[in-house]
Structure 1
Amino acid sequence: MSAHELAEPCPYVSTDDDATDAALLPAEQKLPALLVVDRDGRLYAAVAGSQLIGRLLPSYALADPLFASGSDDWDLHEAPERLTGLTVAELLPRHRVRPPTVGPDASVTHIAALMARTHSPLVAVVESAGDQARLVGAVMATRLMERLIGGT
């Protein structure tokens, strides 16, 4: 089985898109990460759901776990406001993470090893045509686990 056969269509956002709309995408689509393309449509970054959650929390909750553990959730209603007016580019961590990528012919073993080495919940499948690379989809860890354990 190849990456092309395992890949699922994966929605993505552009660096210029609205951060609030982009942050909702993983929740709505049950995605482990948000794939981001640049203005030219090239794969730019992957943002894990945990990183998106971190952007929604007040800074004290991240800085002081003890304080956060004793805190009630009174200010979580402000979470969406933390993204208001931001673009996806502004939402990205300072050190963006490029998702691991494979070509459409990559084997299950290759994908599994890459996913394990990079601790990534997905591997992007890209198809090269000259100097352009087109996002075909992504192999999600859940689909790969089905293949490895379920034998499908």
Structure 2
Amino acid sequence: MRAEDLDEKFPVVKIDSAALDAVRLLAEHRLNGLVVVTDTSETPFAVLPASQVVRFIVPGYVQDDPGLASVVTESMADHAAEKLSGKTIRDMLPKQRQHIPVADADDTIIEVAEVMARLRSPLVAVVKDGKLHGVITASRLLAAALKE
């Protein structure tokens, strides 16, 4: 089985899209992450794991001292996502460019799994002829591996 046989259509966001829109997309569709493309192409620019987005709703002082999480009031916690107001996807990506979890459409399941494992990504973008063809999630990859 090849990557293109396993991939599926998946929500994609542009790098300068509103961060809150991405959070809504992640939450509403219960996604593990999103593929980020540049505004001018369908070429994957990055993968934004949901865990990275969650990090942005945790106040910096709590990240510095996790023990402070217990002193954050419910009313403060209820408004945590508001921190993302006015921010873009670009603002949530690491400043240092990281490897993009990408597989070619003709890669095998093992090749896709290797990329996913090495880059610790919940999903891999599949490209064909330089364009995004689809996405393979970790759960979809595992299901396919169990069938073989």
Q: TM-score, normalised by structure 1?
A: 0.87
CA change 1:96–1:74 in 2 (3 A) is: farther
Q: Which structure 1 residue ranges, 5 or more long, are not aligned?
A: none
Equivalent residue, structure 2, for 1:139: 136
Q: Which residue of 2 aligns with 1:113?
A: 114
Partner of 2:86: 85
Question: Taking every aligned residue pair, what percent have the same amino acid on both sides?
Answer: 35
1:90-127, Cα deviation, whole Å (9 max, x unpaired): 22222243431111111111111222222211111011
| Distance in 2 of aligned mates of 1:120 and 1:57 | 21
**Is the CA contact (8 Å cut-off) linking 2:99 and 2:119 kept in structure 1?**
no
Q: Structure 1, residues 20-62: CA drift from partner, whole Å, max 9, x if none?
A: 0012212222221121111222211111111100101211221
Relative to structure 1, the CA distance from residue 73 to residue 93 in structure 2 (aligned partners, 3 Å threshold; closer, same or farther) is: farther
In structure 2, do the counterparts of structure 1 residues 35 and 98 end up closer, same or farther at CA, with 3 Å as the change threshold? farther
Is 1:6 the counterpart of 2:6? The answer is yes
CA distance in 2 between partners of 1:84 and 1:71 (Å): 20
Equivalences for 1:3-152 in 2 at 5 Å? 3-41=3-41, 42-128=43-129, 133-149=130-146, 151=147
Please tell me whether the aligned partners of residues 46 and 97 of structure 1 are also in contact (alpha carbons under 8 angstroms): no
Could you state the TM-score of these two structures normalised by the residue count of structure 2? Answer: 0.89
Worse-superposed segment, 5-14 or 77-86: 77-86
Q: Secondary structure at the match of 1:74?
A: helix
Q: Which runs of 5+ in 2 are unaligned?
A: none
Tell me the C-alpha RMSD between the 2 structures. Answer: 1.7
User: Whole-Å Cα distance in 1 between the matches of residues 48 and 75 of structure 2?
Assistant: 27
